[in-house]
Amino acid sequence: MTPFTPLTLPNGTLIPNRLAKAAMEENLADADHAPSDELIRLYGAWAEGEVGLMITGNVMIDRRAMTGPGGVVLESEQHRARFEQWSKAARARGAQVWMQINHPGRQMPAALGQTTIAPSAVAMDLGNFSKQFTPPKEMNEADIAEVKHRFVHAAVLAEKFGFNGVQIHAAHGYLFSQFLSPITNKRQDRWGGSIENRARILVDVVQEVRAAVGAEFAVAVKLNSADFQRGGFSPEDAKQVVAMLNPLGVDLIELSGGSYEAPAMHGQARDGRTLAREAYFLEFAKDIASVARMPIMVTGGIRRLPVAEQVLGSGIDMAGIGTALALNPDLPREWKAGQASAPVLRPITWKSKVLASLAYMAMVKHQLRRVSKGRRPNQNVTPAFAFVEQQVETVIKSWKYRRWMKHPSA
C-alpha cells in the first residue's frame, strides 16, 4: 500500500488516496459567517493539489459558541449557495470533503462577549493568559439536549449542501473533549464519572447523526489519543471510547492530541517536552488502532513523504497533514510526481509555551490567508510578525463578531 492507494470506507465510498488535509482553523468566514470567496478559493487550491480528503476547519453549530472570530457558522439553510460553492470547489478534482462540526465549550475567547458553557464550571488554566477565557457555567440537561440537536442538524445540512461527510470534533480540549476528560468533567450525574458516562454525549451524537444522514454520507470522529495532562484523558480511555464507537457505523477516527492548556497538536507536551518531531501521535495511535474496527487516521507533524509512508506502513489507514499543506497546497501532487518536497515553518524559540503555541497558529493562518487570496505561501514569515498580524486581525474580527451578534442578518 502506498499513499496513493485508494481507501474504501465502511460506507462503501472511495477516497482516492491516503493523504488527508486535516482541519485547520481558517477564520475566513464572510460578514454573515458563511463561507467567503477567500475560503472557497483556499479549498480550490487544495483540490488542485490532489489531496484525497479535505476536512474543513471548525464549522460552528451555534453562533453563540465560537472557537474564535471569523469562523463559519451553520445553523440554517440561509446561506446554502455559499456552502454549496464551498463543497463544489473542494470536490473539483475528485476528493471527498467532510465538514468538521464543533462546539468550543469553555475554549471560547472572552473577547467575543458570550456566556460560556462546559460540562463543569472549571476555568481555563493558562497562567497569566487565563483571563482570555470566561469561566464557564455548568451545562444543565436542556443545554446538553440543545447541543446534541445542533450537531445533528448541522450534519443534515452539510449533506444537503454537497459535503461527503462530517467529522465530529471530540479532541483538542473542545466541548466533547471536555466531557471526556476527568479534569474538566466533574459531574456526578449520567454525563460524568465513568468513561462510559463521560463518553455518553459523544456516543449519543454519533448515533443520532448516523441515523439522520444517508448511508453513503461519512460520519467521522476526531479524538485525542491523550490530552497530555496529569489525571486527564488517557490512551486507555481513548481505547475504550473507540470500542464504544465500533458498532455505531463510524467511517473513520482521526487521532490527535492536546488542548489549549497542553498544545500537543503543535508538538509540545504539558511540561514543555518536545514530542517526536514528525508523526507525534503515531505510537499512541498504533496501540489505540488495535481495538478499532474502522479506518484510523493520524495527524500531527507529517511533512515528508517517507514519514507518511511510515505511518501508513504501520497499519494506519490515512495520514492527516495540516501545516505542511498550508505551506504547500500542491504537496500530494508533487509527492506523486517524485518530488521530495518537505515544507517547514521557521522554528519558534520563545520560552513561553502559550505564546509559542499562539505564534505557531498565527504562522499557519498567515499561510492560509495568502493562499486564500491567490498568493503563494511564505515559509519564511517570522513568528513575531505573524503573531502581531494575527492579534490585530483577531481584535478587528472580534469587534465585527460582537456587532454581528447584536444585528445579525438572520
Residue 229 DSSP label: S
Q: Does 250 reside within a domain?
A: yes
Per-residue pLDDT at 42 exceeds 70: yes
Q: What is the CATH number of the domain that holds 327?
A: 3.20.20.70
Per-residue pLDDT at 262 exceeds 80: no
Q: Does 266 reside within a domain?
A: yes
Q: Does 409 reside within a domain?
A: no
Sign of CA dihedral 118, 121, 126, 130: positive
Which residues lie closer than 8 Å to 79 by C-beta, 6 or more apart? 32, 34, 35
Q: Does 277 reside within a domain?
A: yes
Q: Does 17 reside within a domain?
A: yes
Range of the domain at 44: 7-345
**How high is the pLDDT of residue 268?**
42
**How high is the pLDDT of residue 266?**
46
**How high is the pLDDT of residue 319?**
95
Query: Which phi and psi angles does 44 have, rounded to 5°?
Result: -65, -35
* Rounded Cα distance, 93 and 178, in Å: 37
Higher pLDDT, 100 or 356: 100
What dihedral do alpha carbons 63, 67, 70, 73 form, nearest 10°? -30
Q: Does 165 reside within a domain?
A: yes
DSSP-assigned beta bridge partners for residue 54:
21, 97
Residues 383-390: contacts with CB within 8 Å, 24+ apart? 383/346, 383/348, 383/350, 383/356, 383/359, 384/359, 386/359, 386/362, 387/355, 387/358, 387/359, 387/362, 389/362, 390/358, 390/361, 390/362, 390/365, 390/366
Portion of the chain with pLDDT greater than 70, in percent = 92
Q: How far apart are the first and last CA of the chain?
A: 48
Q: Does 55 reside within a domain?
A: yes
Mean predicted confidence (pLDDT) in 92-100: 98
Which residues lie closer than 8 Å to 306 by C-beta, 6 or more apart? none
Q: Does 394 reside within a domain?
A: no
Mean predicted confidence (pLDDT) in 162-186: 96
Per-residue pLDDT at 409 exceeds 80: no
pLDDT band for position 352 (cuts 50, 70, 90):
confident
Q: What average pLDDT is seen over the chain?
A: 91
**How high is the pLDDT of residue 273?**
37
> Beta strand pairing status for 117-118 and 165-170?
unpaired
pLDDT band for position 274 (cuts 50, 70, 90):
very low
* Rounded Cα distance, 266 and 353, in Å: 10
Mean predicted confidence (pLDDT) in 18-32: 96
- Give the pLDDT confidence of 206-215 residue by residue, as tens digits: 999 999 999 9
- Window from 75-84, 160-169, 250-259 with minimum mean pLDDT: 250-259
Total of domains in the chain: 1
